[in-house]
Amino acid sequence: MLSQERYKVILDIIEEREAATVSELAVLVGTSESSIRRDLTALARDRRICRRACQ
């Protein structure tokens, strides 16, 4: 799965659940936790998600 595809899946999961752990996302997306961390960093950098307590 390409990173852009993972981003969409991650965003869909977070929208549905409102929150998810790296471990949960890795299982649901079917990729490694390190890939999920990189994806979350990229999504946060692009302001598409807030990590932890975002205001």
Domains and CATH numbers, the chain: 3-45 (1.10.10)
CB count in 10 Å sphere of residue 43? 18
CA 37 – CA 40 distance, rounded (Å): 5
Residue pLDDT tens, the chain, 55 long: 899 999 999 999 999 998 899 999 999 999 999 999 999 999 999 999 988 765 5
> Dihedral sign, CA of 9, 12, 17, 21?
positive
**How confident is the model at residue 53, as a pLDDT?**
60
